[in-house]
Amino acid sequence: MTQNAAPQGIRDAAALSHDIVETYDAVVVGTGAGGAPAAKELAEGGMRVAVLEEGGCHFEHRDLASQAIQRMYRDGGITATIGAPVIPVPLGRCFGGTTTVNSGTCFRTPEAVLARWRNEFGLQDMHPAAIAPLFDRVEAEIGVAPAAFRVMSRPNVLVHEFIGGEGLSGAPLPRNAPGCEGCGMCCYGCTSGAKKSMAVSYLPKALCAGAVVYVHARADRILLDRYGASGVRAAAVDDTGRPTGHTLTLHAPRVLVACGTLLTPVLLKRSGIARGNRHLGRHLAIHPASKVAAEFDEEIKPWEGIPQAYGYDGLHDDGIMFEGITMPPDLGGAANPLSGHRLAHYIRNYRHMASYGFLISDTAEGRMVRLPLLGYRFIYSLTSTDVRRFKRAFAWLARLFLRHGAKRAWAMLVRRDNEFTSLEDVDRFERSPLRAADIECMAFHPLGTCRMAATPEQGVCGPDHEVFGAPGVYVCDGSAVPTALGVNPQETIMMLGTRLAQRLLGKTLGPEAAQ
């Protein structure tokens, strides 16, 4: 299937002329990294499966990244946490969820993180040997392989050359994009379909196995009876999210909630589920991320090639992971805190600009609150440890660029001078105080708001993903991930969705099943 043609079997709730009442074996809420693998596995295992997606299908490609953000991202890409600083957390709202608009980077869960889950949360089967077949299965489905240098953006290649010249070593990032052509539009809808998002991998297979996918269908409430889950009630909505007036009532004894970390706890609370659990909507981790941009004499053309293709983990023990990040010209000027003549210079010379990013394994934890007029929002502020990590990452990247020929570098900082033209400028920056509110950052990996644990005293859902006190209600998205990972979580979430489905089907994957 290409990015230009929607698969057969998708039903558009926005086009309904009447209410729908149907019965299934399982209803999956969400088409992203958790929901799509679960739906595909359950359907191929013989269950009658319905899947709900609030967004629409956008297989056509439009030229500008800014247009893609408006039609494929929730809230036009401005979903954010509230705190010091305010941090945008862009979320996909489309067929395939955030996997359709993410960088495509795929990592297995680090062994140290799995050990923590076993030791702190009682998840004893989260052992590398036990879940390796699940990762094998996921990686075979989406073609995970290291990014090729020939299609990397120039900033990624420059960083590879720079750190190599200093006796350090990074590596191409593993990605789910076999046959990548380097269009540079990973985060705005891959133009060729090379990126194996859920929209072009798991969901078509789920449809072929008989699953039904309703798009423009917003799950408003999980239905319960005296035995537990009994289905989902959803509203048909248009492409802007406004209700059309029709509803879908899908009855099923199993409801798999995969709305995403910021939305799943809201749906559970609205449905009267886990309300007494003190962990619901808490422990939000987001991997806050930022970048340093630099100007070179050479022509960079940063928009050409894979934006996030090369990584360096030399500071991973301090909770910092470096990964490439570049943006198309229509967004590059807006994605920095420059103003006035500096902004004009940056835009005018954008073809000479290189940027490189990083994420931190956050020690902060956010929590869900209900605010007047605004509804449910998440409060999150960086800790002093997180701020120290940002300072170290900014300084490390600025020095790297300046030592290798950059004319100037800019850290993503506000309320202070953020331009470095010499190594002495970087030294002064490191000696000066830095506040959380000074940092301009974003986050792309929300996790933990319905975390898994052995008991309700530790989490919201058990080791089998079932919500404590709500039989038949399962969580299989980033909200179930107990802690920050320190790496991109897409593959971990896909593994968990696969794991849940196999458990519901009563199967155990062996090495031969992963082939």
Task: Examine the pLDDT at 3 and tell me if it is beyond 50.
Answer: no
Residue 2 banded pLDDT, cuts 50, 70, 90: very low
Task: Examine the pLDDT at 507 and tell me if it is beyond 80.
Answer: no
Domains of the chain: which residue ranges?
10-73+91-104+107-143+187-278+448-509, 146-174+288-360+383-438
The two domains 10-73+91-104+107-143+187-278+448-509 and 146-174+288-360+383-438 share their CATH topology (first three levels equal) = no
CB burial of residue 390 (10 Å; 0-12, 13-18, 19+): buried
Determine the pLDDT at residue 402.
Answer: 98
Determine the pLDDT at residue 293.
Answer: 97
Residue 447 banded pLDDT, cuts 50, 70, 90: very high
Using only C-alpha atoms, the chain has a radius of gyration, in whole angstroms, of: 22
Q: What is the pLDDT of residues 59-98, one digit of tens each?
A: 666 668 888 888 899 998 889 999 999 999 999 999 999 9
Residue 415 banded pLDDT, cuts 50, 70, 90: confident
Determine the pLDDT at residue 60.
Answer: 62
The domain 146-174+288-360+383-438 having CATH identifier 3.30.70: the answer here is no
Q: What is the pLDDT of residues 14-49, one digit of tens each?
A: 999 999 999 999 999 999 999 999 999 999 999 999
Determine the pLDDT at residue 204.
Answer: 96
* 459 or 76: which leads in pLDDT: 459
Task: Examine the pLDDT at 509 and tell me if it is beyond 80.
Answer: no
Q: Both tokens of residue 256? A: 């798999």
The amino acid occupying position 269 is K
- Residue in 441, 71, 92 with CA at minimum distance from that of residue 261: 92
Q: What is the pLDDT of residues 322-344, one digit of tens each?
A: 999 998 888 888 888 888 999 99
Lowest mean pLDDT among 20-34, 150-164, 320-334, 390-404: 320-334
Determine the pLDDT at residue 358.
Answer: 98
> Is 10 in a helix, a strand, or coil?
strand
Q: How far apart are the first and last CA of the chain?
A: 22
Catalytic residue among 58, 287, 445, 465: 445
Q: Hey, what's the torsion of the CAs at 355, 356, 361, 367, to 10 degrees?
A: 20
- As a CATH number, domain 10-73+91-104+107-143+187-278+448-509 is 3.50.50.60
For strands 442-443 and 288-295, give the pairing.
Answer: antiparallel
> Is 114 in a helix, a strand, or coil?
helix
Average predicted confidence (pLDDT) for the chain: 94
Determine the pLDDT at residue 515.
Answer: 38
For strands 217-225 and 228-237, give the pairing.
Answer: antiparallel
Active site residue 445: yes
Task: Examine the pLDDT at 121 and tell me if it is beyond 90.
Answer: yes
Q: What is the pLDDT of residues 283-327, one digit of tens each?
A: 999 999 999 999 999 999 999 999 999 999 999 999 999 999 998
